[in-house]
Amino acid sequence: MKILVSILLVGFSVLSMNSQAQMADNKKMDGMNHSMDMNKSIMVMYGWVRLAPPIAKNGAAYFTLHNSSDKDVTVVDVKTSIAEKANLHDVVFEMSMAKMIHLKELMIPAGKMIAFKPGGKHLMLINLKEKLVIDKEISFTFILSNGEEITSVMKVKADDSGKSSEDQHKH
């Protein structure tokens, strides 16, 4: 059976907003969207936050988590100042309808990577406190079951893959 990915509820038509003088709370962490601290068991790679219309209540961030250690590690929480809550979500299909589920935690097996990307796992940013504009840098801290905290700064980018928008997501 052919399942049409039906999470394409709304296509963002993104007007160029990069000239907006956004009050920069940019933290001078130029391009640091790659957390490479070798003392940590998890690396957060390829992180980005999807551009959302100014009226959007929610947003989504994507990244790849790489467990470079030899032990399984579980992400138990993610903190950010951009939204009231940041929840790990996955997309499941029920009767060919896409539905989001909240992952209370996510285990990353030793040596493995888990990719978050449009149409699949994402970090849902619930009740945004600031607008998401191109190139804005947003800091996320991943809390692990072993007590480690990994901070990664991700930039806002337009979703040019033509995929997905989870902002219709109801909580």
By CB under 5 A, name the binding residues for Cu ion.
Answer: 89, 100, 124, 166, 169
Residue 74's φ and ψ, nearest 5 degrees, are -115, 130
Least separation in angstroms between residue 100's CB and Cu ion is 4
Q: For the CB of residue 97, give the shortest distance to Cu ion in the complex, in Å.
A: 14
> Would you say 43 or 52 has its CB closer to Cu ion?
52
* 48, 70, 71, 79, 170 from 123: Cα distances, Å: 10, 25, 23, 11, 14
Nearest to Cu ion of 89, 131 (CB atom): 89
Given a contact cutoff of 8 angstroms between Cβ atoms, the answer to whether 73 and 42 are in contact is: yes
Q: Kindly tell me which of 22 and 120 has the beta carbon lying closer to Cu ion.
A: 120
Q: How far is the CB of 126 from Cu ion (least distance, A)?
A: 8
Of the pair 21, 55, the CB lying nearest Cu ion is at 55
Please report, for residues 5, 73, 85, 140, the alpha-carbon distance to residue 93 in angstroms, rounded to integers and kept in the order given: 9, 27, 24, 28
C-beta of 140: minimal distance to Cu ion in Å?
Answer: 15
Q: For the purposes of burial, counting CB atoms within 10 Å of the CB of 13, is it exposed (0-12), middle (13-18) or buried (19 or more)?
A: exposed
